[in-house]
Structure 1
């Protein structure tokens, strides 16, 4: 079985990241026209969690502290702009994500920073390892953002069922 040229793998991962960012922008812009639900909040990180299967392959593995650091950077640094630009509004008894004019620019900015970091990190570790690190970083970012959305959503959702007052 032949090996893949690292430069082709690098180009492919960059093109894939750009494509995914554009898809996220498109999906998020369309999503603001539909009500937010708990399911819609949690499906993306649950679906993304299947990516942890990549660590079955030995070439993708790296020390645990690298993973913890990447997750924390995603959680505290990269999630912050997404959290700051995510707001909800109630219309017709349902909750909608408000469209932010800066959301697309923030995603493109995060992509640019990610690509520049990827270029720097690829000098020291393999492409599969850097892919794994950036996956963990992105997972930390998405998970924190979605926790924030869930908490904000629960503040706005009226209680579905109230227990009746006990009769005395």
Structure 2
């Protein structure tokens, strides 16, 4: 006799466990990266590296309607990116520009993880697992691209101020 509801399979539980472990790992890495000097390269590389994930769409099982992909991207770019932008602040410390994390940053990441888990089940009940993965990838890509563009604009502004002071 299982302690899990009938709708839960071992794969479902494993998926949730992997998602939670991945989320905790990302939170740990984000916290470690805070208050350390950043560069334009450190801001740009994550979305560029992540963009290779679009190769998944070579596999027909991952194909989703374009409108679904656009909605997923828009949700990531607006709803999910906004709290990250609001809780990420670049500051000049001497000669360096550092990312100062808000005390709310960890709670925002945790909240986004919980929302992702809840929405994931709803989406997965309507489309296949590969399509669900594809939609969440597009959502995450929209989130990281917009967040990093905001960081890049702030970084360039801080660099410009530095140049004007000493230029």
TM-score, normalised relative to structure 1: 0.86
CA RMSD of aligned residues (A): 2.0
SS at match of 1:54: helix
SS at match of 2:54: helix
Rounded Cα–Cα distance in structure 1 between residues aligned with 2:139 and 2:9: 22
For 2:24, which of 16, 19, 22 is the aligned residue?
Answer: 22
CA shift, 1:9, in A, is 4.5
2:140 is equivalent to residue 134 of structure 1 = no
Q: Verify the 8 A CA contact 1:88 1:95 in the aligned structure 2.
A: yes
- What is the aligned partner in structure 1 of residue 157 from structure 2? 155
Rounded Cα–Cα distance in structure 1 between residues aligned with 2:21 and 2:32: 17
CA shift, 1:73, in A, is 0.6
- What is the aligned partner in structure 2 of residue 3 from structure 1? none
Map residues 34-73 of structure 1 onto 2, 5 A cutoff: 34-73=36-75
- What is the aligned partner in structure 1 of residue 3 from structure 2? none
2:87 is equivalent to residue 85 of structure 1 = yes
Distance 1:39 1:53, change over 3 A: same
Unaligned runs of 5+ in 2: 1-7
For 1:96, which of 95, 98, 102 is the aligned residue?
Answer: 98
Rounded Cα–Cα distance in structure 2 between residues aligned with 1:136 and 1:93: 36
Number of residue pairs matched by the alignment: 157
| Structure with the higher helix share, 1 or 2 | 2
Unaligned runs of 5+ in 1: 1-5, 164-168
Q: Verify the 8 A CA contact 1:35 1:96 in the aligned structure 2.
A: yes
Which contiguous aligned blocks of 4+ residues in structure 1 show a shift greater than 2 angstroms?
A: 6-17
For 1:114, which of 116, 127, 145 is the aligned residue?
Answer: 116
For 1:146, which of 139, 145, 148 is the aligned residue?
Answer: 148
CA shift, 1:29, in A, is 1.1
Rounded Cα–Cα distance in structure 2 between residues aligned with 1:44 and 1:107: 17
Q: Verify the 8 A CA contact 1:45 1:143 in the aligned structure 2.
A: yes
Q: Verify the 8 A CA contact 1:9 1:127 in the aligned structure 2.
A: no
TM-score, normalised relative to structure 2: 0.87
SS at match of 1:13: helix
